[in-house]
Amino acid sequence: MARLAQTAGLTDVQKEILSTVKDFVDKEIIPNAQALEHADEYPKDIVEGMKEMGLFGLTIPEEYGGLGESLLTYALVVEQIARGWMSVSGVINTHFIVAHMVKQHGTDAQKQHYLPKMAAGEIRGSFSMSEPDLGSDVAAIKTRAKKDGDTYTIDGAKMWLTNGGSSNLIALLARTDEGAEKPHQNLTTFLVDKTEGFGEVAPGLTIPGKIDKMGYKGVDTTEAVFDGFRIGADKVLGEAPGKGFSYMMDGVEVGRVNVAARACGIAIRAFELAVEYAQQRKTFGKAIADHQAIAFKLAEMATKVEAAHLMMVNAARLKDSGARNDVEAGMAKLIASEYCAEVTQEAFRIHGGYGYSKEYEIERLMREAPFLLIGEGTSEIQKTIISRGLLREYKSRG
């Protein structure tokens, strides 16, 4: 059993789930990740394996066919999957966020319709806030949904949809005319059904194709173009126009815990590769791990892995308790993503010239780690969230 990134206080069920997932990662993901990533190939067989294990319904309540597990369990599962290949964790991340939003805010009819099929992996979700001209400034969204009786007509362009082609459900944030003074109170979340694939996937909705990326290969990242797309008012999440921003932010909070977990997974794998290589590679008559310069690097890397894991676990447990966790989730995402980049780069340096070769796994991790500095909000956005939360809690009485 590895010493790093252990979690105290887990139930027997949680331990069994994590053991099963780790075994799946070691046998099915790690041996195939390099070839799939280099070919930018969607991991169909791996996804089918996750369906069979019930991972798509991990946090969906048992009454809807899911396993009813906690955010902590999910985060620890994601940590293991990302340790194998981050792109695979991306396949289930947006699905999880959409399922969480439907579970927390959907009407009874929406829950009955979507959650059982989402638990089985028959319906797979993607998540859409960003646009070509905006990312973090969500209140400035331009995509509009105009109401006409019992339907809306949506026009606009969305950007950076993970699983945009492989999903058949999009949780879409669009601007509606609610007459509210605050911009974010004029935003509504829609549940958009579509077919899988690229091109026109529904009348008035086009998924142009995959965006070619530096890393995060295999999983499809796309645009979505809405041109006169018509949707019923019953597809408004919770049938609550104007509440889309708060619903999306709830989804983003759990998404930030997820990104922190992914960062922990990559950092763990980078450390594993580095500590193994450092004991095999010899210079000046001894393993480079026996040189103090390398030994100190390993010590610092392990400390960062452990710190990031503990903060991620704390943020997940806080959310599970029902408490507000925006500050803690921001802290976990900030520290885990930054430490992931640092640990991965140190592992790359330990590998020397071999780390620059595509034959070595660390080359892939070097292209994947930077994504986590940006996804679900940049480090600067996390600092903004953290500082605002702290100033709210520590408000001066002077």
* Residue 261 belongs to domain with CATH number: 1.20.140.10
pTM of the model: 0.94
Domain boundary among 94, 120, 146: 120
Q: How far is CA 125 from the centre of its chain?
A: 12
Domain boundary among 183, 211, 242: 242
Q: Is residue 6 part of a domain?
A: no
Q: Helix, strand or coil for residue 340?
A: helix
Same domain, 312 and 361: yes
The set of catalytic residues is 376
The region that residue 123 occupies, defined by phi over 0 for left and psi between -120 and 50 for alpha, beta otherwise, is beta
CATH number (domain holding residue 175)? 2.40.110.10
Same domain, 100 and 130: no
Q: How far apart are CA 252 and CA 377, in angstroms?
A: 9
Please give the pLDDT value at position 327.
Answer: 94
pLDDT tens readout for residues 219-240: 999 999 999 999 999 999 999 9
Q: How far apart are CA 223 and CA 128, in angstroms?
A: 9
User: Under 8 Å CB-to-CB from 108, ≥6 apart: which residues?
Assistant: none
Same domain, 110 and 133: no
Domain boundary among 194, 215, 242: 242
User: Under 8 Å CB-to-CB from 48, ≥6 apart: which residues?
Assistant: none
What number of residues does the chain have? Answer: 398
The whole domain housing 304 covers 246-393
- Contact between 57 and 66 under an 8 Å Cβ cutoff? The reply is yes
Same domain, 274 and 356: yes
pLDDT tens readout for residues 55-78: 999 999 999 999 999 999 999 999
CATH number (domain holding residue 64)? 1.10.540.10
Q: Is residue 5 part of a domain?
A: no
> CA torsion sign, 240 to 244 to 248 to 249?
negative
Q: pLDDT tens track of the chain, all 398 residues?
A: 478 899 999 999 999 999 999 999 999 999 999 999 999 999 999 999 999 999 999 999 999 999 999 999 999 999 999 999 999 999 999 999 999 999 999 999 999 999 999 999 999 999 999 999 886 677 789 999 999 999 999 999 999 999 999 999 999 999 998 888 888 899 999 999 999 999 999 999 999 999 999 999 999 999 999 999 999 999 999 999 999 999 998 998 888 999 999 999 999 999 999 999 999 999 999 999 999 999 999 999 999 999 999 999 999 999 999 888 899 999 999 999 999 999 999 999 999 999 999 999 999 999 999 999 998 889 999 999 999 999 999 987 76
Domains: count for the chain: 3
Same domain, 331 and 225: no
Tokens read off for 383: 């600092």
- Contact between 64 and 116 under an 8 Å Cβ cutoff? The reply is yes
Q: What count of other Cβ atoms lies within 10 Å of the Cβ of residue 322?
A: 7
Q: How far apart are CA 279 and CA 271, in angstroms?
A: 12
